[in-house]
């Protein structure tokens, strides 16, 4: 039972740790979604990763629509992946690849309220190193948990310890 509580702690810790590594990026650099900003220039100069999110703030004259490339090019979304007009929208970037955003108010997309972003793989990746010196090996031996503690835990139970080695 104690092992399960320990495992639960580490899973919760890693979830918070991973979430804290992601960025919430304000659209256009300021967060304001309107017709005065060149969003594509901003998007082209900004790096996006899986786990990041884009935050939009706007008035009732606008909306946020995530669409496909055809809807983006034509400013007429036939496929709507996300649509919101609440005035405050946060879009999580969950997958790699190109994501397309437009304002669906007539005339706004064609006036420049649209942009596409290329989402890269997450920057969060566990790394391990192999100790090379005797001192590093001794340190690793004192930090690593006993094998009996890890029996049956699986990789998620080991991951927290790898992070601290």
Query: What burial letters (b/e) apply to 71-101, b meaning 16+ CB within 10 Å?
Result: bbeebebeeeeeeeeeeebebebeeeeebbb
What lies within 8 Å, CB to CB, of 132 at 6+ separation is none
What lies within 8 Å, CB to CB, of 41 at 6+ separation is none
Q: Is the pTM of this model over 0.85?
A: no
From the list 122, 108, 107, the residue with the least C-alpha distance to 50 is 122
What span, in angstroms and rounded, lies between the C-alpha atoms of 77 and 94? 20
Counting residues of the chain whose pLDDT is more than 90, the rounded percentage is 59
- 20-49 pLDDT, tens digit per residue, is 468 999 999 999 999 999 999 999 999 999
Structural domains in the chain plus CATH codes: 2-12+127-164 (no CATH), 23-120 (2.60.40.420)
By the 8 A CB rule, do 87 and 58 touch? yes
């Amino acid at each position: 039972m104690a092992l399960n509580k320990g495992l639960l702690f580490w899973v919760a810790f890693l979830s918070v740790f991973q979430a804290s590594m992601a960025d919430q990026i304000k659209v256009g650099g300021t967060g304001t979604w309107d017709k005065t900003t060149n969003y594509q220039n901003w998007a082209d100069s900004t790096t996006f990763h899986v786990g990041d999110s884009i935050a939009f703030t706007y008035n009732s004259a606008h909306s946020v629509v995530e669409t496909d490339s055809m809807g983006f090019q034509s400013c007429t979304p036939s496929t709507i992946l996300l649509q919101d007009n609440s005035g405050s929208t946060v879009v999580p970037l969950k997958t790699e690849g190109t994501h397309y955003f437009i304002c669906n108010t007539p005339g706004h997309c064609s006036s420049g309220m649209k942009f596409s972003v290329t989402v890269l793989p997450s920057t969060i990746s566990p790394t391990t190193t192999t100790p090379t010196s005797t001192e590093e090996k001794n340190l690793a031996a004192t930090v690593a948990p006993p094998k009996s503690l890890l029996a049956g835990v699986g990789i998620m139970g080991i991951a927290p310890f790898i992070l601290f080695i």
